[in-house]
Structure 1
Amino acid sequence: MGICLFVAVFGVADALIQGGMLGDLALMCPEFTQSFLAGMAASGALTSALRLFTEAVFTNIDTGLRKGAILFLSISTIFEFLCIFLYAFVFTKLPIVKHYRRKAALEGSQTVSSDLFAAGVQTDLSEKLVNGNLDRLSNKELLFQNLDYALDLFLIFVLTLSIFPGFLYENTGQHQLGSWYPLVLVATFNVWDLISRYIPLIQCLKLESRKGILILVIMRFLLIPAFYFTAKYGDQGWMIVLVSVLGLTNGYLAVCVLMVAPKGYKGPEQNALGNLLVFFLLGGIFLGAALDWLWLIGNGSF
């Protein structure tokens, strides 16, 4: 119970920081958003490496699973606190962050103005008036204009989290790798997820078409029957291929959406849109994790 509560607290902290970061980065360069998302994927790859390490060290030890989990959570906690510290005390003082926040404040952003004031940077109202109209689209208008992007992110993570990681642990059967098999699948997903988040940096491979993104997002749902039948009739090689496709499309499409969506808006609107999109992203993660339990039906574990 204590571990569950501990994980829940850090889940809330992660959601708050993720929303704040993507809201800030949305009003900056799209490449900053890509770097942040790639960093998130890198943390997933590092987590997999850590899990493989604990499996190797504690696999033949009594209560090894518990000891491995405690070590895993301890190291993760250190990194989590480090990230919170960096965001609260270092990120806000970076010159590039102050520059973009000041630019957004001059365009009428109240939340960014408060952040600047807290960091000791003043913005003059007369400068705001000189820089033009302070009016901005409401959150409702922003959402309706970008409903397809919000739906894209929601569906991307609903599908991903409905398969990863629960299905990979519960429904892939017994194979030559034994207890290492689900760990290898999870590591495979995380590695391809990380690689795919750098693909949009190659301009000719960056997908900016709203219809194109939506079509690919919907096509990903073909992975559900593919995983089901592969788990039932296929071997571990095909499962690794499917997991690679899942990771590749997850990272690539998420980065494309979050890099393209804020374009053409003023700073305050980009900031608000970033927060709105993260809300749908996290909603997809929540629903996907909940739907993950459906794989247990008919598996003898429900």
Structure 2
Amino acid sequence: MSRNVAPSDGSESDIVAGTTTSDSDSTWHLVESRIGGNEPRDKWHLAYIIFVLAGTGFLFPYNSFITGVDYFQIVYPTEKYEFIATAVYFYTTLFAVFLNNLLLRIVGLSARIRTGYVVFAIALATVLVVNSRIDTRGSSLSFGLTLFAIALVSLAGGLQQASFYGFAGMLPKRYVQAIMAGESVAGLIVSIDRVVTKAAISDCRASSLAFFGLSLAFNFICALGYEVVRRSPFVKYHLAMAKSTSGNRVMGLGRYAKLDDIDESVEMESIDRKQKHQSARKSPLKDRVLGALRARLLVSRRIWLYMLSIGLAYFLTLLIFPGLLTEIRDDDGRFSNGWLPVILIALFNFFDFIGNLIGSWHYNWRPGHLVSASVLRFILLPLFLFCVLPCNMPFFGSSTSFVAMGLVSVFGLTNGYFGCMSMVLAPAQVEPNRRELAGNLMTLIMLIGLTAGASFAFLLNHVTGSEPGNLCFSNSTQVSVSNCTHV
């Protein structure tokens, strides 16, 4: 069987795209027969575990900066650290995801991921050096270096996140869920790490340095895990299948695609064939760019409801987490020494992890229902505001801390579950050789939602009255500083 091989902008490397309809059908029969008899097994679920580790790895450094908010609020009492750090992270990450889409055909998957781990190590080492060697209290230099480290982390994380979702999109659906679970595990492990170091070491600076040192060590473990999984026969098999198929059937939800989807598949194959022939013309770059944009548009038409669902879900997430959570005050002194924000962030990460685990029980949600669920979650926003407002006496009064814990638990659970469902189901709506592209597009929309949420959190900050000089801000700051002097 002869094939015309053409480059596709939707996968990690060259894939077969220029097949005829009959050739594609034959390819499907070949693939299905091979999967039925000779597909390697994921022995001991090793690849799944390492994909969980991978998801943990590219969000671990970010969670380290956010979960250590109690320390940074003390070191930089006049700065709105949690808001500035979140904005810097997600704006840079959004840029990195755009960059990743451009680098799909230029820089290999392994190069992008390995570069991410190296940059992660540099960023965390920078924080360790700055906070151990420089008098950080209120220092604009150390604050600038900390933000620089966050920018490095976000650049590396954005490249890795988009790359890993595209990578997992070419494997069975559960491996996308593995990455989502790993992201939740990152927050959970970092929260446990912070609670342990804060409880075991009374000196605030020493406990924070131990915290970031453990984060650096975990980054090294994640890098080793990637080197193992990329050599797995199971992973190599599915990557080969994704690169060698371009059929007219969607391998998702156990049924054939609609006729419109098949027409779009043929149209995308036509784009790939045209790109091959146009590559020898006078202006191949322009033709390839237009072809790539059109391919992305066609994939987006298949998964736009999933994209809307994930965008809305994560917009709300960053609108509330971590900024609004860190403004919830413990006026009754039940959780002294800055423990309340640490506990709230830990609860969010724990239930986000549980939500992702529930997402591993594959329930095929209709995309419209996922969008509705993402919209319904906005009911939580006014309830969280009542935990902060009115400024001098929140609506829930002396029960505010416990109400906030209950709300955060629901917030984290729904975030983990519905975010996972959108990311898992979307790549299955397109052909195997387009799943990396679908994964990248979903990651892009997810980051747009996160970045927009972080931006609107600044506006919400003015509504809740936590800017420097306001009564709410000064109260929370004084409590933290008075209970931790070893900085």
What corresponds to 1:198 in structure 2? 357
What corresponds to 1:100 in structure 2? 238
AA of the residue aligned to 1:252 = Y
Residues in 1 aligned to 2:166 and 2:466: alpha-carbon distance in whole angstroms: 43
Q: Could you tell me the TM-score, scaled by structure 1's length?
A: 0.83
* Aligned counterpart in structure 2 of residue 155 of structure 1, from 300, 312, 316: 312
Residues in 2 aligned to 1:293 and 1:174: alpha-carbon distance in whole angstroms: 24
Instruction: Report how far residue 54 of structure 1 moved.
Output: 2.6
Residues in 2 aligned to 1:287 and 1:69: alpha-carbon distance in whole angstroms: 30
Residues in 2 aligned to 1:93 and 1:23: alpha-carbon distance in whole angstroms: 17
Preserved contact between residue 197 and residue 255 of structure 1 (Cα < 8 Å): yes
Residues in 1 aligned to 2:194 and 2:323: alpha-carbon distance in whole angstroms: 15
What corresponds to 1:30 in structure 2? 173
Question: Aligned to 1:182, what secondary structure does the other structure show?
Answer: helix
Preserved contact between residue 268 and residue 298 of structure 2 (Cα < 8 Å): no
| 1:81–1:279 CA distance, 2 compared to 1 (3 A) | farther
AA of the residue aligned to 1:192 = F
| Per-residue deviation, residues 223-264 of structure 1 (Å, max 9, x unmatched) | 111111133212222111110111011000011111111224
Worse-superposed segment, 290-299 or 148-157: 290-299
| 1:224–1:134 CA distance, 2 compared to 1 (3 A) | closer
Residues in 2 aligned to 1:67 and 1:225: alpha-carbon distance in whole angstroms: 38
Identity %: 26
Pair 1:145 & 2:302 matched: yes
Instruction: Report how far residue 140 of structure 1 moved.
Output: 1.2
Instruction: Report the number of matched residues.
Output: 273
Instruction: Report how far residue 21 of structure 1 moved.
Output: 0.9
Instruction: Report how far residue 58 of structure 1 moved.
Output: 4.0
| 1:273–1:189 CA distance, 2 compared to 1 (3 A) | same
Preserved contact between residue 246 and residue 431 of structure 2 (Cα < 8 Å): no
| 1:287–1:67 CA distance, 2 compared to 1 (3 A) | farther
AA of the residue aligned to 2:197 = T
Correspondence 1:11-30 to 2 at 5 A: 11-30=154-173
* Aligned counterpart in structure 2 of residue 7 of structure 1, from 129, 132, 150: 150
Residues in 1 aligned to 2:466 and 2:169: alpha-carbon distance in whole angstroms: 45
| Per-residue deviation, residues 89-137 of structure 1 (Å, max 9, x unmatched) | 333211111111100111269xxxxxxxxxxxxxxxxxxxxxx999278
Preserved contact between residue 157 and residue 288 of structure 1 (Cα < 8 Å): yes
* Aligned counterpart in structure 2 of residue 75 of structure 1, from 211, 214, 217: 214
What corresponds to 2:131 in structure 1? none
* Aligned counterpart in structure 1 of residue 186 of structure 2, from 43, 51, 63: 43
* Aligned counterpart in structure 2 of residue 177 of structure 1, from 335, 338, 343: 335
Preserved contact between residue 171 and residue 299 of structure 1 (Cα < 8 Å): no
| Per-residue deviation, residues 251-297 of structure 1 (Å, max 9, x unmatched) | 00011111111224221211110011011112222222232223321
What corresponds to 2:465 in structure 1? 299
Correspondence 1:45-64 to 2 at 5 A: 45-59=188-202, 61=203, 64=204
| 1:16–1:85 CA distance, 2 compared to 1 (3 A) | farther
| Per-residue deviation, residues 133-163 of structure 1 (Å, max 9, x unmatched) | 9927811111122222112111111111111
Residues in 2 aligned to 1:215 and 1:43: alpha-carbon distance in whole angstroms: 28
Residues in 1 aligned to 2:207 and 2:298: alpha-carbon distance in whole angstroms: 48
Residues in 2 aligned to 1:166 and 1:133: alpha-carbon distance in whole angstroms: 45
What corresponds to 2:381 in structure 1? 224
Residues in 2 aligned to 1:156 and 1:54: alpha-carbon distance in whole angstroms: 32
Instruction: Report how far residue 3 of structure 1 moved.
Output: 2.2
Preserved contact between residue 207 and residue 213 of structure 1 (Cα < 8 Å): no
Instruction: Report how far residue 85 of structure 1 moved.
Output: 4.4
Instruction: Structure 2: give runs of 5+ residues left out of the alignment.
Output: 1-143, 248-265, 273-293, 389-393, 469-487
Preserved contact between residue 200 and residue 207 of structure 1 (Cα < 8 Å): no
Residues in 1 aligned to 2:324 and 2:357: alpha-carbon distance in whole angstroms: 26
Correspondence 1:249-264 to 2 at 5 A: 249-264=414-429
Worse-superposed segment, 248-257 or 262-271: 262-271
Pair 1:210 & 2:367 matched: yes
Residues in 1 aligned to 2:207 and 2:447: alpha-carbon distance in whole angstroms: 28
What corresponds to 1:117 in structure 2? none
AA of the residue aligned to 2:372 = I
Question: Aligned to 2:428, what secondary structure does the other structure show?
Answer: coil
| Per-residue deviation, residues 53-87 of structure 1 (Å, max 9, x unmatched) | 2322344x3xx2x4433332222223224324433
Residues in 2 aligned to 1:292 and 1:264: alpha-carbon distance in whole angstroms: 33
AA of the residue aligned to 1:104 = A
Question: Aligned to 1:187, what secondary structure does the other structure show?
Answer: helix
Could you say what the CA RMSD is over the residues aligned between the two structures, in angstroms? 2.3
| 1:49–1:278 CA distance, 2 compared to 1 (3 A) | same
Residues in 2 aligned to 1:153 and 1:255: alpha-carbon distance in whole angstroms: 9
Question: Aligned to 1:208, what secondary structure does the other structure show?
Answer: coil
Q: Could you tell me the TM-score, scaled by structure 2's length?
A: 0.53
Residues in 2 aligned to 1:207 and 1:174: alpha-carbon distance in whole angstroms: 45
